[in-house]
Amino acid sequence: MQNISSQAQKTATLQERTLHCLMLCDPPKKVEQTTQLETDWLAGLVACQHDAAVQQVAVPGRPNRPELVAPRELTKRSAFTIEGRAALIHSLCHIEFNAINLALDAIYRFVGMPRDYYSDWLKVAREEACHFQLLSEHLLSLGFHYGDFVAHNGLWEMAVETDHDVMVRMALVPRVMEARGLDVTPSIMEKLRKAGDNQAVAILEIIHRDEVGHVKIGTRWFRYMCEQRKLEPLTTFKHLLREYMKGRLRGPFDHATRTQAGFTADELAYLEGVG
């Protein structure tokens, strides 16, 4: 995709600028321009085109490395070695890079939503960009770069599976794929704390706090779409889990944090039954 010049950015719509950010391959540029986009949006400098035509993004902008492999090909390493700790930080870094693209795609793809929807997801995109930057800088302090280890593409694959329907996207990406981070991040923090990496723990504390808000935003717009379509949210959520996840749900689930993110007691009980 061609670069948008500074002058063109002044007249580009939200959809055009979001697609531009989404297709940027250079991580620092993606971070910078995603952050600037939210700033311009909040300043009222970006118009939203509610009837914009959108295209499927099978492959978003990303660097040539890391090499993407199947999850089973990932090597488990001990966090008590520098390389093992770097591999763990790298995996988190890759998740956050994908999360930038996921948030940008949620803005670009689903036209005709309320203004608050775009404000919410621009906030998510900017925070994911900040998370990626924090983790990539810490990775560099360990002597490694983003791309030095292999990674998998599961998060983006789910984005493609759900790109036809905003309700399905909100149910399955923030409320399933990203919500998994709410369950596992505390144990990762404890592992890094035992390994003596207090800087990584501090970064994950920021990420965990922000991710509660991100999942809550997914909950907000999932329920909004259920209301618009006169669908019962719990029944709809169960149906989508059965249709798309097909046994891929994994526990245990952090009830306290998921409750903060908008999960109901009935939803958590259902997840416990199938996870």
pTM score of the predicted model = 0.93
pLDDT beyond 50 at 9: yes
Distance of alpha carbon 55 from alpha carbon 2, whole angstroms: 16
For the chain, the domains span: 12-274
pLDDT at position 210, please? 97
Distance of alpha carbon 273 from alpha carbon 263, whole angstroms: 15
What's the pLDDT tens digit per position in 116-158?
999 999 999 999 999 999 999 999 999 999 999 989 888 888 9
- What CATH topology corresponds to 12-274? Ferritin (1.20.1260)
What's the pLDDT tens digit per position in 163-210?
999 999 999 999 999 999 999 999 999 999 999 999 999 999 999 999
What's the pLDDT tens digit per position in 58-111?
899 999 999 888 777 667 778 788 999 999 999 999 999 999 999 999 999 999
Q: Which of 25-39, 115-129, 240-254 shows the lowest mean pLDDT across its residues?
A: 240-254
